[in-house]
Structure 1
């Protein structure tokens, strides 16, 4: 008989293994506010059937929370789409995949049964320091966890959670769009929804730069496990796949609300995806200009293959950069500039709430 508690305990162990170096690195930076108070943040994984993540400020301490349902869904999707990884460099239509309805259901928030949860956990590498010679679903899963935890932690570090609760009178910052806010409500002349959207893009930027930097310079756990067999083009493509899955989570939430995304607390999913890709392209191009086209073309091929497994991926093809920007991309870029300008204009208001690193970590 499957023991649900044992499954979740094992899941938490893998979560810790995948994200420890990110948490340790941020802790080593010894973040402090201008008033001298130190960053104190607890990471909690709760057993819940609803997939979600959130960041909250509690008095002088903070907490980031992740539901087991979200982590289980990330893990299952990673293994369900793993067959694509063996064909990333195949020519168009060389390999066809059958549609897998479970991938779509998980994107839309369905839950797994305990037997399926155990099956996918058993597929993960079993030991810390486990070495592999081929990239696999574990890397997609780990990238999703690392992006997720970095994003939520930066909501704390950048003062977003404190400002949202103290100054805006709102609850925790949840990683799903909410429609309960009125867009005409203003704070310091800025729409509250615009401020919250700027928070999401700001946390996305910092989380992306942290994760991509670790990948490029061999400091991520998946790269360590594959060393010396790391192919940076494939490695960055895997990270782009992880980003695309999160985009589909957000897009499903938007469609569930059945309202204009501009009146919610989060930016349009497509905008966040395009920013993800832009940060990856910018940093990879600085590291090695030859990576740009190679990663772009392989990522586009990956999405094309993934679209055969779940139709939701097809909607990202026209947002995936290659040689030029489409009118849709340009429109989303202008919208991103607007939200980030709001962030800059409002930054003085939450500056006292920001935790600044007091020491540099190599």
Structure 2
């Protein structure tokens, strides 16, 4: 259904490895199902949500033809947005054929009669997406949402069923499946956010759908937060502190509370994380103290600009256990830190990052260890 050369698509500037692909069976199935249903024909108004590296957007734009309306797209990851633009150039699709929206807002789906979705793993994120479409898309909208079978559950049908009259599942193909939804319900309410009180820390944690761990306190983050008083005591009061890969922003808020004169920056490439961090800062009365930036591995921050970086790196790339993201964030920390600056990182003990931290950042010492996590401090050479 498309003339695109899929082998040309890359994940760059996201991490790349032989086992990590830019296009998968779910991307192809979504596009094939949409084309077979006549949803990628002239006159259609198409939106794309959750495209990993541009396959859905570029495939839809190619099938619709150059005279079609602009394909609107939202990708949670900033690296995904950048990969889409780079891949468009590789396969010869003009960037004017699509428009990227950094925030999942009504404009993404306003009046759309076709929405293609790469299913998120989070049911809360899917609920946010379904509510947005039901409230703002064309009443005749057709939704084609797909994913790999290992990441799908029957609960996804139920979530879509709360916003649409009809939800049907396709047959599986190459370990992928799509869900087709239509007939948006009237009166669907707007998505809210989760909010939980961490009593022992005296902090609120807020999360929009899709952010890691939701409003629950991640156990690795807990290990670092418990040592925040002594981390702060060793930090210059007016220092610049960076919460790198901030998630819900709890580390940034705790740092702002412990170092009231410091400049605190929370940064993440995830749009959901950025929204969550802003909500967390506001809920804890720190909105004027915590600057929140959407950036890929802190690439918006100058070299040598921070005295302290706080980091709880992910150990998954999508659904794959992989150390590449952590390695990227360690290198980013080394770039951001001034000489003598400190990286305080918490990581799964089984991954044994200490040698890499020594090599990439500088001398590294263990601060604490639990049965699952290790907390280290590395000093920038």
| TM-score over 0.5 for the pair | no
| TM-score, scaled relative to structure 2 | 0.28
More strand by percentage: 2
The structure that has the greater radius of gyration is: 2
More helix by percentage: 1
> Which structure has the higher relative contact order (CA within 8 Å, separation 6+)?
1
